[in-house]
Amino acid sequence: MIHYYVLSAILEIMGCYYFYKGNYLLAIPALVLFAYTLGMQPYEPARAYVIYGGIYIVCSAVFALMTGVVLDARDWLGIGLMLAGVLILL
């Protein structure tokens, strides 16, 4: 079940990135698939969005690292707290 959340986050990040770069041919399908996969979550919508939000933050941090952004101690603390909250909800 967590793979749907990770897939949703990756698709949203890709879609937004491609949209920012002006590549709508890749952005629109990625965002449509993001909405579809987010709707496949096994939990009620409120819990699904909270879990997804935490996973999205972790995936965003990974994307930031891949693009050369340096994260400080507060970033890592926030990411750790988010991930702990997500694991509690799962």
Q: What is the pLDDT of residues 78-88, one digit of tens each?
A: 999 988 888 88
pLDDT-derived band of residue 1, with 50, 70 and 90 as boundaries? low
Tens digits of residue pLDDT in 5-26: 888 888 988 999 999 999 999 9
The reported pLDDT for the residue numbered 50 is 81
Write out the residue range of the structural domain in which residue 44 sits: 2-89
Torsion-angle region of 35 (φ positive above 0: left; ψ -120 to 50: alpha; else: beta): alpha
Q: How far apart are CA 27 and CA 57, in angstroms?
A: 20
Report the candidate in 62, 88, 86 with the shortest Cα–Cα distance to residue 75: 62
* Structural domain count, the chain: 1
Report the candidate in 16, 86, 31 with the shortest Cα–Cα distance to residue 55: 86
Q: Output the pTM of the full model.
A: 0.70
Are 12 and 56 a contacting pair, CB within 8 Å?
Answer: yes
